[in-house]
Amino acid sequence: MKKSAPKSKKSTPKTTLAKKSPAKTAAVKKAPAKKASVKKTVAASATPSQLIDGRIRELGDWRGTMLAKLRTLIKEADSEIVEEWKWRGVPTWYDNGIVCTGETYKAVVKTTFAHGAALPDPSKLFNSSLAGGTRRAIDIHEGETIDAAAFKTLVRDAVAFNKSKPKR
C-alpha cells in the first residue's frame, strides 16, 4: 500500500510588510543598488589623476585646498612622479616605489611618507607617526601652512631613497 504525502497546510508568514516598522521600510527604500554600481563604474573608468581631482572637488573646503597644494608641491619636486588611487580612495604618489600618500580626515590632511624614518628632516616637518620604524607623517590642521621648500626636499629625498633600494 502506498503512503500518500501529507497534505500541506497553508500557513501565513509570521512577519508581513504591514508589521514592519516604518524606519526599517524607509531604510530599505533609501539605498538603491543601481547608484552604487554606477559610482563603481565611473570610478573604474577614471584615471587616478581624475579620481584625485574629484576628491579635491568633493572636499570643497580647506582640506581640498591643502591636498591640491601638496599635490602641486609633489609634482614640482619630481616631474616623473606617478599618481595612483589606492586602498579605496587614498591618493598615492610613486617613483620607484611609494613616495607618499595624501589622506584627508575630518580635522587633518595627512601626508605619510612610506620610508620617512630613513629620511633626514632638518626642518622638523614630520609631526605624526614618529614612533614607527618605517613611516613618518605630516599632519596639517586647518589654518596651518607647510614649508614648501622643505616639503619638496622631503619628496626628493624619498625618491632618492626609493632609487637607492636594490631591485627585487
Which domain, by its residues, includes 104? 48-164
CATH number of the domain to which 105 belongs = 3.90.1150
- Examine residue 148 and state whether it is found in any structural domain, yes or no: yes
Give the DSSP per-residue string, 55-120.
HHHHH-SHHHHHHHHHHHHHHHH-TT-EEEEETTTEEEEESSSEEEEEEE-SS-EEEEETTGGGS-
Q: Above pLDDT 90, what percent of the chain?
A: 65
- Residue 55 and residue 74: Cα distance in Å, rounded? 17
Read off the pTM: 0.72
pLDDT at 81: 97
- Examine residue 125 and state whether it is found in any structural domain, yes or no: yes
Rg (CA), the chain: 26
The pLDDT tens digits of the residues spanning 61-80 come to 999 999 999 999 999 999 99
User: What's the angle, vertex CA 125, arms to CA 163 and CA 71, rounded to 5?
Assistant: 65
> Who wins on pLDDT, 103 or 167?
103
The pLDDT tens digits of the residues spanning 28-54 come to 444 444 444 334 545 568 899 999 999
Q: How far from chain centre, in Å, is Cα 41?
A: 18
- Examine residue 155 and state whether it is found in any structural domain, yes or no: yes
- Examine residue 115 and state whether it is found in any structural domain, yes or no: yes
